[in-house]
Amino acid sequence: MRLARGNRWACVRTVAWTVLLSLCAAIYLTQKTPDAPMTVENATLPVSWVASDELLSIHAHRRHHMHQACRHLGLDRASVGYNVRSHEFLVNQDWRLVWCNVFKAASSTWLWNFNQLAGYTQEDLLREPSHPLPLAHRKYPRLKLGELQAVLSTTPRPLSFMISRHPLIRIVSVYRDKILPQKSTYLQKTRTMKRLYPKLADPIRGFQALGTFILGQFGPPSFRQFVQYVIDRHARGLPMDEHWVPASQFCTPCLVNYTILAKVETLEEDSNYIIFTSGIQNQISPRIVNRSPDGMTTEQVADHYLCQLSRDQLTALLRIYHHDLILFEYDVQRYLDCTAQNDGSV
């Protein structure tokens, strides 16, 4: 009798676990974020364009501020851990253009332009819209430092540029494009984030305990888990992923005297400055390339993510991106304000 009763309870437990796992799977499938879709929008160039006195003044200020800040921070000299990453530069010899590609800073948009200059047609680029960098490196070989220095020292000087972006907005963009969809190239990293920081998972509203368990097992890492992963790896002196390494370290504007210091925040005018100054306006059909998981821009949702952080997390991020914030003159007060009361526990 007891054995039969025990068998019945075993069956009940088996059925219960089956139902629970089915529920978990169902909730996971409804919560899983699809890959961020790519949109390629037309960008119409003006028929003619001349840099205004105001724009020239802005760029003169950027260059002057960069030189002053580099000396103040002691970044105007190369060191063992701080030197020019020549292999990250794309050089178009025909149009004397040199670009250091900061990932998540209009990189897809400008890869489109450089790929067109290299001879790819619009049909070629639309056929493989998610893989512009491999296409570029078929045409633009990775340079050694001496080769890059030789290009930069020619007369007349080539037009060299980099594009910066507010580092906190950039890291939100990385999260939405690479981490939230759990892309295959980042799957091991996302698993590590969830394993190391289970208390920072985002629970499903209304099912807090169960939701936290499900997301911890199946769903994407929360933004706070991702940020803590970045913070802890940096604290241990481990290499940073190219998509979130500080732009000041990746493109070393203190060691490369860029002609134009462009910004995502002023991208249209800065791009026109680059395009018309270099003379490529009749060689390209510019496109604005975006990836968005929900149809909203990163700037529109940045506050939602960044204001979730604890003050300790935000402070740690500000230390990591300290040089970016100073060199490119970005403000962080709004994020200091909105995280002021957040608990710092991990």
Longest Cα–Cα distance in the chain: 97
* Pairing between β-strand 287-291 and β-strand 38-42 as defined by DSSP bridges: antiparallel
Q: For residues 262 and 95, is the Cβ–Cβ distance under 8 A? A: no
Structure tokens at 231: 């913070």
Residue 24, domain member (yes or no): no
pLDDT at residue 49 in the model: 95
Domain ranges, residue 178 = 36-338
pLDDT-wise least confident of 39-43, 151-155, 274-278, 312-316: 39-43
pLDDT-wise least confident of 2-11, 56-65, 219-228, 273-282: 2-11
pLDDT, the chain, mean: 87
Q: How far apart are CA 245 and CA 243, in angstroms?
A: 6
Residue with tokens 């900061």: 102
Residue 345, domain member (yes or no): no
Measured in whole angstroms, how far is the alpha carbon of residue 309 from the centre of its chain?
Answer: 18
- For residue range 116-140, list pLDDT tens digits in order: 999 999 889 988 766 899 999 999 9
- Residue 253 pLDDT more than 60? yes
Structure tokens at 277: 């100054």
Q: How far apart are CA 195 and CA 295, in angstroms?
A: 30
Residue 296, domain member (yes or no): yes
Q: How far apart are CA 283 and CA 31, in angstroms?
A: 44
- Residue 215 pLDDT more than 70? no
Residue 326, domain member (yes or no): yes
- For residue range 158-173, list pLDDT tens digits in order: 999 999 999 999 999 9
Count how many domains the chain has: 1
- For residue range 176-201, list pLDDT tens digits in order: 999 999 888 999 999 999 999 999 99
Residue 251, domain member (yes or no): yes
pLDDT at residue 292 in the model: 65
Residue 10, domain member (yes or no): no
Cβ-based neighbours of 48, under 8 Å, separated by 6 or more: none
Structure tokens at 194: 């969830």
Residue 219, domain member (yes or no): yes
Q: Around Cβ 178, how many Cβ atoms within 10 Å?
A: 22
Q: How far apart are CA 223 and CA 26, in angstroms?
A: 23
- The DSSP bridge partners found for residue 91 are 98
- Whole-model pTM: value is 0.85
Residue 6, domain member (yes or no): no
Angle at 140 between CA 106 and CA 250, to 5 degrees: 50
